[in-house]
Amino acid sequence: MSNTDLKVRVWRGSQEGEFVEYLVPRNPNQTVLDVVTYIQRKLDPTLSYRFACRVGMCGSCAMTVNGVARWTCRTHVSQILQGDSLEIAPLNNLPVIKDLATDMREFFNKWKGAVGFFKGSQTRHDDFAKVEPDSKERQLANAGIECIGCGVCYASCEVVESRPNYLGPAALNRAWTLTNDVRDVQQLERMRAVAGDAGCHACHTQGSCTERCPKAIEPTASIAGLKKLIAKAAVRGSKWGKL
């Protein structure tokens, strides 16, 4: 090992596996994704991982780096290096397919469970639905709309770790965004879904999701919004119907 080498421990295997150490040349402006790519291309072509855009647009390269969930394409080695060592593992709270690639089906199934998809009342034959840009609903929806489903918040959530059926911060943030979309027609169904035992009230407001989100979204605030809305509906009733 030279003074310009990185000592990189990478998770190999599936759910049951082990860390394997590699020596990787250190370069200026090197990202963690650069390190993983070097290992796969130069040292071990059997290494499995996931990436696409490399510029922080898709979120598919998220991994656990030195114990913290991050986008590897936007994380520079110099920012998080501990001595001369890196430890790279798959995202927490998700089944491991192989090495650094996780099975995201559980994550997106929870979006579906939170009714995290848009359904409008108009057809392609109708005029475009208008949402006033300065309306309260639009502002609330905009706060969480930039989520790209990378799974960093889900992997960082202590409640998901202890309660695997919990819908999780990404799904609940999506539910809150759509709850504030005046064009959507599934509001009652969505509120019932997120009011259940695995929904927003299971959140302990620890804030790890907000702290770790690479897009600076605040899922904790979105979940608080759902809690408030459901509490009001339970006391005063909902404009969409009975919960």
Are 23 and 10 in contact, with CB atoms under 8 Å apart? no
Q: How far apart are CA 80 and CA 66, in angstroms?
A: 8
Half-sphere exposure of residue 90: CA atoms within 13 angstroms, side-chain side: 24
Distance CA 107, CA 170 (A): 8
Specify the DSSP element, H or E, that contains 209: helix 208-212
Q: What is the pLDDT of residue 188?
A: 93
Which tokens sit at 94? 């998700």
Structure tokens at 56: 């922080």
The rounded percent of the chain whose pLDDT value lies above 70 is 97
Q: Residue 229 pairs with which residues in a beta bridge?
A: none
Q: How far apart are alpha carbons 179 and 118 in whole angstroms?
A: 10
Q: How confident is residue 3, by pLDDT bands cut at 50, 70 and 90?
A: low
Contacts of 136 (CB under 8 A, 6+ apart): none
* Domains of the chain, earliest start first: 5-102 (3.10.20.30), 105-236 (1.10.1060.10)
* Predicted structure pTM score: 0.93
**Tens-place pLDDT, residues 118-148:** 998 888 898 887 888 889 988 999 999 999 9
pLDDT at 84: 86
